[in-house]
Each structure stands twice: as structure tokens, then as C-alpha cells.
Amino acid sequence: MPGTIGGDGEMGGSLKSAKELFGKIAVMAHGYASLLANNALEYDEDACSKNLCDVFNSAVKEL
């Protein structure tokens, strides 16, 4: 399926893989959004970016 990512990081993975990847990233992003919206976390762009990239890279490796 075009536009999805497979286990090797190349395009062409399954829809299930794409949903799993998106789900992991969405949970992390929603967590940050919730904490920031409730002033429970001080915004640090570098830390947020690094953590989101780490989650993405880990999730891609699991596929």
C-alpha cells in the first residue's frame, strides 16, 4: 500500500503497520499536548522533539 512504512523503513508496508506506528506517535503527542495544556509540564521544544523522534524511530524498528 503506497504511503505506509514497512519494517525496513521503506515505503510500501501494510495498513496495519501504518496504524500501529501512528497510534504510538499519537499517544505520545497527545500526552505532551495534555500536559502542556494543563500547565503540568514546562515546554521544552528540544526535549519534546527528541522524545517524539525517539518514539517514532523505536516504533519503526518494531514493525
List the chain domain ranges. Answer: 15-62
pLDDT of residue 59: 87
pLDDT in tens, the chain (63 residues): 344 455 555 555 788 888 988 999 999 999 999 999 999 999 999 999 999 999 999 988 887
d(CA 48, CA 37): 14
What is the per-residue pLDDT for 63? 75
Query: What is the 8-class DSSP label of residue 5?
Result: B
